[in-house]
Amino acid sequence: TSQPLILGIETSCDETGVGLVRGTTMLANAVASSVDEHARFGGVVPEVASRAHLEAMTPTLHRALDEAGVGLEDVDAIAVTAGPGLAGALMVGVSAAKALAIAVDKPLYGVNHLVGHVAAEQLENGALTEPVVALLVSGGHTELLEVSDVASAAKLLGGTIDDAAGEAFDKIARLIGLPYPGGPHIQKAAADGDPSSIRFPRGLTSERDMTRHRYDFSFSGLKTAVARWVETAERDGVPVPVADVAAAFQESVADVLTRKAVLACQERDIGTMVLAGGVAANARVRDLARERCAEAGIELRQPRLSLCTDNGAMIAALGAAVVEQNLEPSAPDFATDSSLP
Ligand code: KG4
Ligand code: ZN
């Protein structure tokens, strides 16, 4: 094909990702994770993540090139996550990308990690052809976005006013004695639980909140409710039904996320919803989104699980869209921005 070959590099958190993409076709997606090194601390330790990226970068790059059956000299442009994310972790990826861009004398694009999550979906179902509502749910962010083209600015419809959805999963996991990262472990525990056995609150869904915070989310009240419930059980000497608590918590998160995303589609007259980010890998979120979108006549686009969590192919996919729009490469002295909006 004549489409340019884009190399994508991702190091914003604890996954070192290197991907290769042409247009919306994925050729390679190599990921190395330092998640096991962080597990005993109950969360990502920034310095540990940075060192792990430094160690994993070159081997992961070679794995990606091998997987695609190409050489570095075949790469036409490089995209790298400039932010948001952990400052030191981002610097490892951007340093590597700058060095590679010099070595192969090709343009370099510093791109937004969050938009990369949305761009990942294009590797699944092709380029977006009309505006979509994106439900972006990760460890650091929870936002409803209106996106017409991933290479152009997205419109922020709403977002969390406290914890991100993934953060809530991670905190609740800790509370009920499940390992980090909480999301997958809660999902697994919830499979044996009854989601209707406990009714946890749905954040920002009261009539009053729906006027002021229509497309916003809040998970801190839910977190407090789960903590109180567990404390009460422990005080009464009752064994905590971990599976039921996990299922009821997961149900509350999935309910609010999908309810507000569908509402945004309906009220903004948008026919397509895109799920993106690590929490979009959650089976209950996916099922409920599918069910509610079908009911509302909304087309649902969601990437496979490996494209939901952090990876390099999503950054390459965004790079491909940016190159296709003929946007200017980043200046040679561009910096990382850990709080890039
Ligand atoms: O997008 P991501 O890989 O990294 C960030 O950009 O933050 O998201 C990581 C988050 C973590 O909080 C993790 O617990 C959550 O996504 N996660 C899940 C699942 N898999 C990952 N949450 C719920 N269910 C899952 N199956
Ligand atoms: Zn992410």
Mean pLDDT of 130-143: 96
CB 116 near ligand 1, within 6 Å:
no
What is the predicted pLDDT for the residue at 39? 87
DSSP, residue by residue, 163-182: --HHHHHHHHHHHTTPPSSH
Fold exhibited by the domain 5-119+308-324: Nucleotidyltransferase; domain 5 (3.30.420)
Pocket test for ligand 1, best of 13, 31, 279, 314 (most atoms within 8 A of CB): 279
Distance 179 CA to ligand 2 centre (A): 19
Q: Whose CA is nearest to atom 10 of ligand 1?
A: 139
pLDDT tens per residue across span 98-124 = 999 999 999 999 999 999 999 999 999
Helices 220-235 & 165-175, crossing angle to 10 degrees? 10
pLDDT tens per residue across span 156-187 = 999 999 999 999 999 999 999 999 999 999 99
CB 183 near ligand 1, within 6 Å:
yes
Write phi, then psi, for 247 (nearest 5 degrees): -65, -40
Domain segments of the chain as ranges: 5-119+308-324, 130-302
Which ligand 1 atom is nearest residue 277's CA? 1
One fold for 5-119+308-324 and 130-302: yes
pLDDT band at 82 (very low <50, low <70, confident <90, very high): very high
CB 303 near ligand 1, within 6 Å:
no
What is the predicted pLDDT for the residue at 255? 98
Residue bearing tokens 């970068």: 57
Mean pLDDT of 194-214: 97
Mean of per-residue pLDDT scores for the chain: 97
pLDDT band at 234 (very low <50, low <70, confident <90, very high): very high
Q: Count other C-beta atoms under 10 Å from residue 230's C-beta.
A: 18
pLDDT tens per residue across span 36-53 = 999 889 889 999 999 999
ipTM confidence score: 0.98
CB 182 near ligand 1, within 6 Å:
yes
Distance 196 CA to ligand 2 centre (A): 30
What is the predicted pLDDT for the residue at 1? 57
Distance 164 CA to ligand 2 centre (A): 12
CB 193 near ligand 1, within 6 Å:
no
Ligand nearest to the CA of 191: 1
pLDDT tens per residue across span 190-201 = 999 999 999 999
pLDDT tens per residue across span 217-227 = 999 999 999 99
Fold exhibited by the domain 130-302: Nucleotidyltransferase; domain 5 (3.30.420)
Distance CA 97, CA 88 (A): 14
In the three-class reduction of DSSP (H, G, I as helix; E, B as strand; rest coil), residue 50 is classed as helix
The pTM of the full predicted model, rounded to 2 decimals, is: 0.96
